[in-house]
A and B are shown apart, each in its own frame.
Chain A
């Protein structure tokens, strides 16, 4: 597998949200608007890339038996970095994402990639894999956030271009489930066309 395939698989073929169904809690929880989705996606991308990088570097040093706790500590360190940086520089986003920032630690994608990919592959491919999977995740969150914002509020990235109130349901919790369900259905349909 060349590096380009390694990078691009996260967007469609192995998209974390639409295909692997990993990391669904933040996916549903923070996507009330496209901006929140993008912010969460980029925060996760950072954690994923950095943890992949460190895991691939220490993979030969860490004994096999304690590898999962070791990976979790590495991930939790980078999550704390994100938490503190966001609190300092992006307080509004920090407030909007709230509980879901510390919860990046238990996002299945991050630990999943560390275990399934970074602990077996070289430094460079691990970083590329982390970036690709992370950006694919960010893309999925932005799409879901965009759809919910568009239907719920008539706006996109905060720019309102449909007057009126929109369907409040899409901003409320049930709308998250419905929107994601229909988006996955669309992906199933599209997949047949593409491959």
Chain B
């Protein structure tokens, strides 16, 4: 039950993109088509869950016993960068079709602040290992939900007659604002 609550709260109530502002760059950048949004979601989910698990273990069993918690940022970003490379190499060997689909999105994930953000957040929240896994999976799903919804809306926006100065990014932000407003309706469902 507790784990389901974590999932609900991370996907809907405190959605990582729309209420915490993490991962905005891909949210605005690759949300022109539903297809690319799906690819990005897959890549992020994959990397985020693995990265959070690895960084959690490293932090708890290496950095804390050694008393070097201040090296958190530098360790985490290195782990994430290395993981992204590793995932890229493994995918290329094991599943070339999936690699083709995710291909261009994988390197971008290193600088996706949602991945580092979730790794740091789960430490700040004092989650245990299983909670961390659910927390990262929920956040990845929340990211995917927001991204796919948003790209579906943007596909429709292309067809509309929008004032010239609003075209492109400005209207995307206003749309995102309205989407965030809708997600505020979930506030208070789960107390975390």
* B190 interface residue per 8 A CB criterion: no
Of the stretches B41-49, B86-94, B110-118, the one at the interface is B110-118
* Docked complex Cα distance between A73 and B171 (Å): 36
Q: With an 8 A cutoff between CB atoms, is A181 at the interface?
A: yes
Q: Which residues of B contact A106 (CB under 8 A)?
A: 77, 110-113, 116
Q: Is A96 an interface residue (CB 8 A)?
A: no
For residues 4 through 38 of chain B, which have their beta carbon under 8 Å from a beta carbon of chain A?
A: 18-25, 28-29
In the complex, the answer to whether A185 meets B180 with C-beta atoms within 8 Å is no
Q: Is the CB of B173 within 8 A of A180?
A: yes
Interface hits, B138-176 → A, CB 8 Å: 165-166, 169-174, 176
**Contacts known (A21-B28, A24-B24, A25-B21); A177 close to B73, Cβ less than 8 A:** no
A103 interface residue per 8 A CB criterion? yes
- Count of chain A residues near B, Cβ 8 A: 41
Q: Which A residues from 162 to 195 make CB contacts under 8 A with B?
A: 169, 172-178, 180-182, 184-185, 188-189
Whether a CB of chain B sits under 8 angstroms from the CB of A79 is yes
Q: Tell me, yes or no, whether A28 is within 8 Å of chain B by CB.
A: yes
Query: Counting CB contacts under 8 A, is B71 at the interface?
Result: yes
Main secondary structure of the interface of A (DSSP, over half): helix
B49 to chain A minimum Cβ distance, whole angstroms, is 18
Which of A72, A80, A102, A173 touches B180 (beta carbons < 8 Å)? A173
Q: Mark A58-74, 1 if CB is under 8 A from B, else 0.
A: 00000000001100110
The answer to whether A178 and B184 touch across the interface, beta carbons within 8 angstroms, is: no
Query: Do the beta carbons of B25 and A108 come within 8 Å of each other?
Result: yes
A105 to B117, CA, bound (A): 11
Complex formed: what's the CA distance from A185 to B20 in Å?
23
How many pairs, one residue from A and one from B, have CB atoms within 8 Å of each other in the complex? 116
Closest residue to A87 on the B side, CB-wise? B70
Residue pair A76, B74 in contact (C-beta under 8 Å):
yes
- Please judge, given known A-B contacts A177-B174, A181-B174, A182-B174, whether A28 and B77 are in contact too, CB under 8 Å: no
Residues of A within 8 A of B25 (CB): 21-22, 24-25, 108
Decide: B73 and A83 in contact? CB cutoff 8 A.
yes
Of B18, B111, B120, most A-chain CB atoms within 10 Å: B111
State in angstroms the CA–CA spacing of A172 and B187 once bound together: 12
Q: Considering the complex, give the chain B residue whose CB is closest to the CB of A186.
A: B165
Which residues of A sit under 8 angstroms from B22, Cβ to Cβ?
25, 29, 103
Known A-B contacts A25-B21, A184-B169; A80 and B71 likewise in contact (beta carbons under 8 Å) = yes
A110 to B19, CA, bound (A): 24
A102 pairs with B21, CB closer than 8 A: no
- CB-nearest residue of chain B relative to A18? B169
Within 8 A of B (CB), among A95-110: 99, 102-103, 105-108
Would you call B116 and A102 a contact (CB within 8 A)?
Answer: yes
- Give complex CA distance A177, B22 in Å: 13
Q: List 28 A-B contacts (CB under 8 A).
A: A24-B25, A24-B28, A25-B22, A25-B24, A26-B21, A28-B21, A28-B24, A29-B21, A29-B22, A68-B81, A72-B77, A73-B78, A79-B73, A80-B70, A84-B70, A102-B72, A102-B76, A103-B113, A106-B112, A106-B116, A108-B25, A174-B180, A177-B174, A177-B180, A178-B174, A180-B173, A182-B170, A184-B169
Which residues does B use to contact A, with CB under 8 Å? 18-25, 28-29, 70-74, 76-78, 81, 110-113, 116-117, 120-121, 124, 165-166, 169-174, 176-178, 180-181, 184
